[in-house]
Structure 1
Amino acid sequence: MTAVRNLDPSASPLDYYGSELRRLREAAGLSQAQLGSIVFCTGSLVGQIETTKKVPTRDFSERVDAGLGTDGMFSRLVGLVLRSQLPSWFQPYAEMEARATFISTFQPQLVYGLIQTEGYARAILGARTDEDLDGRVAARMERQRVLERSRPPATWVVLGEAALHQEIGGKRVMRRQLQHLLALHQRKWLDIQVLPFEVGEHEGLTGSFNILRFGDDPDIVYTEDFIQGHMTANPESIQEGSLRYDRLQAAALSVRDSAALIARVMEERYGEQPESDERSMA
């Protein structure tokens, strides 16, 4: 008989999720295979989630809630689980990002995390290692739920034109990513500008940065190096970051002209891509 791994529910949100899934499945008199059949997955996947070898997705959690009649418990818990999969140094920023009422971001080379497609995010996060890649991608997709709220944060994104040309994940992935940017153009609370190559030297040459604003709390500037992120509410840093961002916005193309450039790059550089683009399946 296969030994059942005992979990410490207090060890982490993932351990708590797994132990509760096992407890409630057994209370319902279901095997892993039977629950898998109910929620349209394999019994093996249920077992891997119960033993924390796999990270649950929001879709899985919603199906388990429906299958076990758990009144949304797993759908509420999965947010904590997925946030815990973010790098420990990034989690404080993610918590502040989820509370912000206004987000401004400048990204010179990559599309901002909150507006990445799953394929694009998978290619970026898997560039160095594919260890627990599914969990890390799910965590990034979970962050994007902040933009789905009834009153999402007003979000302004300035992308360097290089972000449109840097081929991430293959041509098919890039086409879908640029299509996604164009679709976001219709959202009331989100604007995207592109800083074109022709601008030359500009205020963002030192790298990407984000500014978070809140209803009552002080503003925050966030930057990253290749090791970790840095947040500060220092008034001088906020003033400097805000000034730089204003100048980047002024130098960038208008929202309408930015959409036109995105569409042009999408057609000229990425065109219609065949379904057999293997790199996009990574």
Structure 2
Amino acid sequence: MEGEQSVELIRVQLRKQRALAGMNQEEFGKRTNYSGSTVSAVETGTRAVDLPYARRADEILETGGLFESLLRTAQRDGQPAWFMPWLKAERAARQLRCFHPTLIPGLLQTENYARAVLRFDDTRPEQEIEQQVAARLERQEILRRERPPQLVAVIDETVLRRADAVMAEQLAHLLRMAELSHVHIHIIPARAGLHVGLSGPLLLARLPDGTWVGHLESQLGGEEADTEEHLATLLARWECLRGVALPEDLSVALIKEVESQHGPQ
């Protein structure tokens, strides 16, 4: 795959630039605040190259952002073709709307939660999973921009109450994200019963020119929704979702209540 080839190029260049700087793996690890074993794992491919590592390597090796740029390109190349139109819209969006009936939306997932979700496909190699985890975390960088998009996420209460080892950490992360002025989280309470969101996931992005783009996912992939008729339907369904969801303050209170039932992290 093109993405895998790009990642291998990064590893080759990391080894080359480190050697040119006259540092072995232990010395480089000390300079970058990583262990020598971690440096070895990154360079041999048993540990994924993530953005913090790439940025630190750029600083120490004085490569002017080379490794961060290469990594971002590799992560884009590693995404399935059907997802690329949505990624482009997501990066350009001024406003984002997201709902998934059974999962925490990707932009709000922790690293461990994302890894658990990506392991649903038990035929996927571990290295590929780690690359996809890194790509998902990279997507979340848009929320840390100087001028980030407004994100409104609707989550079903049943998603919060799944008994899983990663949920305590995930709930704490949701509460931290809810403190950001541009992130708005609304929970659909269990008492709402059946609602339109149970038909499937829904993503909407409002672009700088005011137009909307929608994205729908299924077991086999996803498709873009950009016709006037389809967008009108999705926007109407979004309003129905918001209508049955709790306001922000009650949503945060519910997340805190569920978090307390998961026990200490």
TM tier relative to shorter chain: 0.7 to 0.9
Q: Deviations over 1:26-55 (max 9, x none)?
A: 432444454344334455654664565653
Does the 8 Å contact 1:25/1:68 carry over to 2?
A: yes
Q: Considering only CA atoms, is the larger Rg found in Structure 1 or Structure 2?
A: 1
126, 131, 135: which one aligns with 1:131: 126
1:104 aligns with 2:97: yes
2-structure distance, mates of 1:122, 1:73: 27
**1:143 — aligned with what?**
139
**1:182 — aligned with what?**
175
Does the 8 Å contact 2:185/2:251 carry over to 1?
A: yes
The aligned amino acid for 1:66 is E
2-structure distance, mates of 1:249, 1:202: 11
- Aligned runs of 1:132-281 on 2, under 5 Å? 132=127, 133-168=129-164, 170=165, 173-216=166-209, 218-268=211-261, 270-273=262-265
2-structure distance, mates of 1:117, 1:10: 23
**1:28 — aligned with what?**
21
1-structure distance, mates of 2:4, 2:176: 41
1-structure distance, mates of 2:145, 2:135: 17
The aligned amino acid for 2:126 is E
Provide the secondary structure at the position in 2 that maps to 1:187.
coil
Quote the offset at 1:244 in angstroms: 0.6
2-structure distance, mates of 1:255, 1:49: 41
CA-based RMSD: 2.5
Does the 8 Å contact 1:109/1:166 carry over to 2?
A: no
1:62 aligns with 2:25: no
Quote the offset at 1:108 in angstroms: 1.4
In terms of mean alpha carbon deviation, does 16-25 or 140-149 score higher? 16-25
**1:86 — aligned with what?**
79
The aligned amino acid for 1:219 is W
Does the 8 Å contact 2:4/2:74 carry over to 1?
A: no
- TM-score normalised according to structure 1 size: 0.83
The aligned amino acid for 2:105 is Y
% identity of equivalent residues: 33
Does the 8 Å contact 2:3/2:76 carry over to 1?
A: no
Provide the secondary structure at the position in 1 that maps to 2:199.
coil
- Summarize the Cα distance change of 1:51–1:204 in structure 2 as closer, same or farther, 3 Å threshold: same
2-structure distance, mates of 1:119, 1:10: 22
Provide the secondary structure at the position in 1 that maps to 2:96.
strand
The aligned amino acid for 1:200 is G
Q: Deviations over 1:82-102 (max 9, x none)?
A: 333333432332232111111
Quote the offset at 1:63 in angstroms: 1.9
Does the 8 Å contact 2:108/2:174 carry over to 1?
A: yes
Quote the offset at 1:74 in angstroms: 1.6
Provide the secondary structure at the position in 2 that maps to 1:95.
helix
2-structure distance, mates of 1:80, 1:11: 11
1-structure distance, mates of 2:36, 2:175: 39
Give unmatched runs, 5+ long, in structure 2: none
- Summarize the Cα distance change of 1:197–1:223 in structure 2 as closer, same or farther, 3 Å threshold: same
Quote the offset at 1:144 in angstroms: 0.7
2-structure distance, mates of 1:272, 1:44: 30
1-structure distance, mates of 2:47, 2:177: 31
- Summarize the Cα distance change of 1:183–1:55 in structure 2 as closer, same or farther, 3 Å threshold: closer
Quote the offset at 1:248 in angstroms: 1.0
1-structure distance, mates of 2:201, 2:75: 25
- Summarize the Cα distance change of 1:61–1:199 in structure 2 as closer, same or farther, 3 Å threshold: same
1-structure distance, mates of 2:8, 2:81: 17
Give the 4+ runs in structure 1 shifted more than 6 A: none
2-structure distance, mates of 1:258, 1:217: 29
